[in-house]
Structure 1
Amino acid sequence: MKMKKPILLSTPHIGDRELEFVKEAFDTNWIAPVGPHIDAFEEEFCQVTGANYAAALASGTAALHLALQLVGIERGDEVFCSTLTFAASANPIVYLGAKPVFIDSDRTSWNMNPELLQEALEKRARIGKLPKAVIVVHLYGQSADIDPILKACNQYDIPLIEDAAEALGATYKGRSPGTFGRIGIYSFNGNKIITTSGGGMLVSPEEQLVAKARFLATQARDPAPHYQHSEIGYNYRLSNVSAGIGRGQLRVLKERVASRQRNFRSYASTLGILPGIEFMPEANYGCATRWLTCLTIDPKAFGADREQVRLALAAQQIESRPVWKPLHLQPVFAECECFGGAVAENLFTQGLCLPSGSNLTDQDLERVIDEIIAVHYVSRKTEPLLIF
């Protein structure tokens, strides 16, 4: 029996321009960690996002680690963080000996609930135990509601760090998420909207912060003819070759976003008519990229739960994934405080991420849609509608 082609969740989508820049790096022997592609990538990234200054780094996690260090996080401090996100959003807090405190999501955007953040800060202010920073995560290609979050942070003079790893290409009131707080970070991991195979970017309106990030990312080497170090540094700089890939990817960012939005529309127009299916809403304050198309499944209305759908897709060589397990439910963060949590827990229980790569074909989308429709009608023991 012929095996069906696997359909993966979100794969890299590489074109011709990336190879041109990589070939240039090879032709000029700029294979070392630094080189002209890095400078150009940082400048072009600022042009695309509207950021003032940028440092290209080895990963989004490295960028977040440096961001926390740059705003002064030390051992024993607390940092507020979105709970509905990947563990990498909170792990760097622990790297520095600090402790995460988690904030629940809202239903409007699935991102950090601004009202809950305000309440949490007010409670902490009354007992003199404010966090030293807030990390807001822009989830699945959609910006959080930044204005009230930033207002709450400014009220208590708390630096806001934006984890925009999943939100490059999105907008909030016409601006790029990641450019509102004191520091923003992005990821170019292989599954993101654009990729450098692995990499990240740190941005800030403060030139000195970005200069310090570059210094720390290159082993904190002092300006001396010999190797001298007055601070502990890291090997966090992006390579010149990877930056070349990033430059090529930046040139097709709009097309990649449009392809993922098209995936969402295909799913929503077909699966959205099924009972019990609801898609991640798009907040009215911005434009989501639909990096991943996410939906929730009410098992009573749909006839099967999220896990049954996921397993049925897997049996057909189709990769899907549950929505992020909230960090306050993760064993490694079991002792951390969380404000709220019920919304994120419900989204995790019912939420599923569908294949969303910008290189999916119409046939790929039809296969995914047909399988989900089949699960519904088999569970209901009724004849399926013909969607296509």
Structure 2
Amino acid sequence: MNNKKIWLSSPHMGGNEQKFVNEAFDTNWVAPLGPNVNGLEQDLESYLGQHAAVAALSSGTAAIHLGLVLLGVKAGDVVLCQSMTFSASANPILYQGATPVFIDSESQTWNLCPIALEQAIISEIAKGKKPKAIIAVHLYGVPYQIEAVRAVADAYQIPILEDSAEALGSAYKGQKCGTFGDIGVLSFNGNKIITTSGGGAIVTPTADLKQKAVFYATQSRDEAPHYQHSAIGYNYRMSNICAGIGRGQMEVLDDHVAKRRAMHDFYADFFMAYEGISVFTVPNDDYFANYWLSAIVVDPLLANGLTRETLRLALEAENIESRPLWKPMHLQPIFEKYPYYGGTVSESLFDTGLCMPSGSNLSDADRERISTVLITILEPFF
């Protein structure tokens, strides 16, 4: 059997990235500013619409951190955060010296539960600390319950920092993810829909707020002939070389989304025959998911004793990468001492969920090999 590694989600070049990178070298724009940075920002603004103003940064984590800074989060403040997410959603809360308060998921989109969110707000206000911000995540490219979460946020006048790191290309009722929050966040890490090697972006509703983000991202240098600083700054701007990769990637973004969605359909069709294994899918047609990662849930009671871990280890033995869902933040050693509101939805999903190989560069041969291996693994259980 072909034992070449099948990755969960590897970079997928479109072909024109080198052209923009070469231009950066040819013109000596090897710096954290330049034509590619400007061009990538313009491409993203055009793609997102909704009057989005985008600043390209060194990472999605940097974008979350600057988002908190722009929202005025300071030491001692409370920030509400979706528990089921990657740690980069929550780490910047601690960068600011603020206190993270984690919220359970709901079962439809696996994202921030509006009911638990409101319970957390009421409880934290009763303790004397009105939350300063809400971090809502579009998990695996599936939009969160946009209207329900916004209704709660607006009722208590708390801004939303929209973590769209996994959701470039996803939409709700035709509006692109990244534009629903008071501030949005994108990621271009190597495993995302498109990549700049590393990198990310902050999405703001106005050009003035974008310029404020750029100010902080370039060490908060004041207008002066010398280096003068009146505020704490950060070295968070994207390089012109990385932005060149991103400009080439933007040309193939829609194609990458279509191919990720095709991988989701592949798994939906395959697992239809197996009781107890369900594929994570949007609740209805209002939601358009890029399906950055296709995920399944394995119910051992219905799947004749098959577990998520049995399946993962069997795939690993065949050199096929899969990965458990994000371990909720409130279960992580670094965060377990902080408050948590909700039930056990995220915990249950972590125990039973598995992300399958989902890359836009997977071939028909890769899919055939995945299905052949899966049939071999599942045969003793069904």
Counterpart for residue 47 of structure 1: 46
The C-alpha deviation readout for 1:330-377, integer Å capped at 9, x for no partner, is 010011111114000000000000000000011111222222222221
In the alignment, does 2:20 pair up with 1:21? yes
Q: Which runs of 4+ in 1 moved over 3 A?
A: 122-128
- Whole-Å separation in 1 of the counterparts to 2:287 and 2:19: 34
Q: Does 1:326 align with 2:325?
A: no
1:218 alignment partner AA: T
Deviations 1:254-288 (A, max 9, x none): 10000011111111101221111011121222101
Q: How is 1:166-181 mapped onto 2 (pairs within 5 angstroms)?
A: 166-181=166-181
Question: Equivalent residue of 2:334, what SS?
Answer: helix
Alignment of 1:1-388 (within 5 A): 4-50=3-49, 51-284=51-284, 285-302=286-303, 303-380=305-382
CA distance, structure 1, for counterparts of residue 343 and residue 208 of structure 2:
37
Instruction: Work out the CA distance in 1 between the residues paired with 2:34 and 2:330.
Output: 41
Question: How far 1:236 sits from its partner (Å)?
Answer: 0.4
What code does the residue aligned with 2:55 have? A
Q: Deviations over 1:222-266 (max 9, x none)?
A: 111111111111110000011111111111111000001111111
**Residues in 1 aligned to 2:153 and 2:102: alpha-carbon distance in whole angstroms:** 15
> Cα RMSD (Å) of the superposition?
1.3
CA–CA separation in structure 1 for the residues paired with 2:173 and 2:302: 35
In the TM superposition, residue 126 of structure 1 has moved relative to its aligned partner by: 4.5
The alignment-based identity, stated in percent, is 52
Verify the 8 A CA contact 1:304 1:375 in the aligned structure 2: no
Does the CA contact (< 8 Å) of 1:328 and 1:338 recur in 2? yes
Q: 1:328 & 1:319 partners in 2: Cα distance? A: 26
The offset of 1:17, in angstroms, is: 1.3
Q: What is the CA deviation profile of residues 205-229 of structure 1, one whole-angstrom value per residue up to 9, with x for unaligned ones?
A: 1332211110111111111111111
Structure 1 residue 146: deviation in Å?
1.1
**Partners of 2:119 and 2:341 within 8 A in 1:** no
Which residue of structure 2 lines up, in the alignment, with residue 386 of structure 1? Answer: none
Alpha-carbon displacement from aligned partner over 1:119-154 (angstroms, at most 9, x marks no partner): 332343445432110000111011101112112111
User: Structure 2 stretches of 5 or more lacking a match?
Assistant: none
SS at match of 2:278: strand
What are the ranges of 5 or more consecutive residues in structure 1 without an aligned counterpart? 381-388
- The one-letter code of the counterpart of 1:139 is L
User: Which residue number in structure 2 is paired with residue 385 of structure 1?
Assistant: none
SS in 2 for 1:100: strand
1:57, 1:199 within 8 Å by CA — same for their partners in 2?
yes
Q: Secondary structure at the match of 1:333?
A: coil
SS in 1 for 2:296: strand
In structure 1, C-alpha distance between the alignment counterparts of 2:69 and 2:154, rounded to whole Å: 19
TM-score for both structures, normalised by structure 1: 0.95
Cα distance between partner residues in 1 of 2:280 and 2:331: 21
